[in-house]
Amino acid sequence: MTWFRKKEQRIESVPADERVVKTEGIFVKCTECDAALYRRELEESLQVCPHCNYHFRIGARERLAMLYDDGQYEELDADVISSDPLEFTDTKPYPQRLEQARRSTGLPEAIITARGRVGGHLTFIGAMDFSFLGGSMGSAVGEKITRIIERALETRGAVITVSASGGARMQEGALSLMQMAKISAALARLDEAQLPFISILTDPTTGGVTASFAMLGDVILAEPKALIGFAGPRVIEQTIREKLPKDFQRAEFLVEHGMLDVVVDRREMRALVIKLLTFMVNPALQTPAPQFNASNNGRDPNGPTPDVPATESKIQSPKSEVKN
Ligand SMILES: [Zn+2]
């Protein structure tokens, strides 16, 4: 007599494609120090390793939520997307690449632009996302950045760009390169209007993005150890026929050599941005001088003026308090 007998009902093996590792997504390994990080803890520290300060790359939407007051913002121009003007095909047709990027990232383009408040200041932010075709700047990306600058000019807001890009998008050829001039021209008008532009550089910021708006900020901030440059180090070495120093093209090196203003830990970024905006926003220009206007006598100086829509004047009210 056998001591054990196989029961009739056997345990069905799960097909390979349905197998799920139950611990998946709870721990993340730090790329820099190999520490096992609890995912929720990592989210709380804004995707910065608490052991070695390694800054993980983050997406455009996370970036916007991190910078805006209460994480609240209104997305703009989500319908502005690149077409295929050159009918470009490499190993795949360009429209197919775009569609694939949209599906895998859930983003309409390599940048998300938004309107909201940062420390109470009306601010337009364009945050790039490296996971969308390497954060490359095509005509749609250029158009979206230009539009937020134009909106800031109309409503006297501040502009912030957060770069994460491999440069201009080669599939759109010269049309991508033209965005450099277009954005720079719009930024010149923003400068004439005395409105602030803060450029935040994250890992990596290279190519045509570095060569245009990313380096045009009134203040240029960078995240620790971010790769920032125009051409890659090998191309430069071959051109100048010299060995490049170690950590060349890292944020810290660039600060030492006067290319950037400051390297900021991501967890302190929002506080610094608010401080800068409060310093740079000219309260006299923000409030269209109601107290000097005779027709405003006896009215609430913070009330809507004919030139400014009601919603915008509300945003400007905290600045008039600074004046008094
Ligand atoms: Zn680490």
Per DSSP, what are the bridge partners of residue 128?
Answer: 111
Q: In CATH, what class is 57-284?
A: alpha beta
169-221 confidence digits (pLDDT tens): 999 999 999 999 999 999 999 999 999 999 999 999 999 999 999 999 999 99
The number of CA neighbours under 13 Å toward the Cβ of 271 is: 5
CB 46 within 8 A of CB 63: no
55 CA to middle of ligand 1, Å? 9
Cα 127 to Cα 57: distance, rounded to the nearest angstrom: 12
81-97 confidence digits (pLDDT tens): 999 999 999 999 999 99
Per DSSP, what are the bridge partners of residue 36?
Answer: 29
pTM: 0.80
Domain chopping of the chain, boundaries: 25-56, 57-284
101-149 confidence digits (pLDDT tens): 999 999 999 999 999 999 999 999 999 999 999 999 999 999 999 999 9
36 CA to middle of ligand 1, Å? 8
215 CA to middle of ligand 1, Å? 29
Produce one character per residue of 171-183: b if its CB has 16 or more CB atoms within 10 Å, e if not. bbeebbbebbebb
261 CA to middle of ligand 1, Å? 25
Mean pLDDT confidence for 147-176: 97
43 CA to middle of ligand 1, Å? 14
202 CA to middle of ligand 1, Å? 17
67 CA to middle of ligand 1, Å? 23
244 CA to middle of ligand 1, Å? 27
Say whether pLDDT at 16 is over 60: yes
Query: Cα 108 to chain center, whole Å?
Result: 14
Mean pLDDT confidence for 9-27: 68
CB 42 within 8 A of CB 28: yes
249 CA to middle of ligand 1, Å? 21
208 CA to middle of ligand 1, Å? 31
